[in-house]
Amino acid sequence: MSKTQGSSHDGATAAVMSAANEAVTTATLPTTAAPSVRAVSVSFVLNGREVTWEGDPSAKLLDVLRDDLRLTGVKCGCREGECGACSILLDGVLVNSCMVAAGRVGGTEVTTIEGYCTTERFKVLDATFARRSAVQCGYCIPGMVLAAEALLSANPHPTEEEVRTGISGNLCRCTGYNAIVDAILDASKEGEGLW
C-alpha cells in the first residue's frame, strides 16, 4: 500500500464527472461471448434502470460494466480484489466488481459512480473532497467515494479510526489518505440527515 504524501488539487468533480459522462444510454447491450462459451441473459437494475446483458456468465462484472455497458467510472486496477478501484455497490454493499461473476448479478441492484453522482449524498462528498484537496490523479476516487457511501450509510457519524477502517480496502497511491479521511469526516457532519 502506497501512502506517500504529495501536493493536492481540488478535482473531485472533474475526476468523477468525466467518468460519469461516459455512461451508457441504452438499456440492453449484448456482448460477445467466446464461441465455445454458452451465453446467458442476465437482468438487473443498474443505476436505477433495468438492463439485460448477454454473455459469458463467468465474465468479471468489472469488464461487463466497463467494456459492454461503458461505465468507465468503474476503474480497473489489480483485477484480483486488492485495490478497490473497481468498487461498486451491489444491493447497497460495497464489493470489488473484479471479484463478481456477471452471471451472479441477476435480480440485484448495481450502483456505480455514474448512478451515485446524481444523488444529494454525492454532492456533499464531492464538495468536501474538493475542499480538502482529496483528489490528485483521481483514479481511486470513484471507488473511494462509494466506500465512503457504504461507510456513512451504515455509520453516519464515524470516528477517524472508523473512516480509516472503512476505506481500508481502497488503495490510493497519491494522497497519503489524510485528506480523504478529513473529507469523509466533513461529509458526515455537513450531510447531517442525508445518511
Q: Does 82 bind ligand FES (CB under 6 A)?
A: yes
Q: Please spell the DSSP secondary structure of 104-167, one letter per residue.
A: G-TT-EEE-HHHHTTSHHHHHHHHHHHHTT-BSS-TTHHHHHHHHHHHHHH-SS--HHHHHHHT
Q: Can you read off the three cell numbers belonging to residue 124? A: 456533499
Closest approach of Cβ 28 to ligand FES, in Å? 25
The region of 26-34, 103-111, 135-143, 157-165 touching ligand FES under the rule CB under 6 A is 135-143
Q: Does residue 175 touch ligand FES according to CB under 6 A?
A: yes
* Distant-in-sequence, close-in-space partners of 143: CB < 8 Å, separation ≥ 6: 75, 84, 85, 86, 87, 113, 170
Q: Residue 156 interacts with ligand FES (CB under 6 A)?
A: no
Nearest residue (CB) to ligand FES, 42 versus 76: 76
Q: Smallest distance from the beta carbon of 85 to ligand FES, in angstroms? A: 5
Instruction: Provide the mask over 25-64, with x wherever binding to ligand FES is found by CB under 6 A and - wherever it is not.
Output: ----------------------------------------
76 binds ligand FES, rule: CB under 6 A? yes
Kindly tell me which of 98 and 102 has the beta carbon lying closer to ligand FES: 98
Other beta carbons within 10 Å of 6: 10
Q: Give the integer Cα–Cα distance in Å for 49 and 185.
A: 31
Pairing of strands 87-90, 93-96: antiparallel
What is the smallest separation between the CB atom of 25 and ligand FES, expressed in angstroms? 25
Q: List residues near ligand FES by CB under 6 A.
A: 76-79, 81-86, 96, 98, 135-141, 172-175
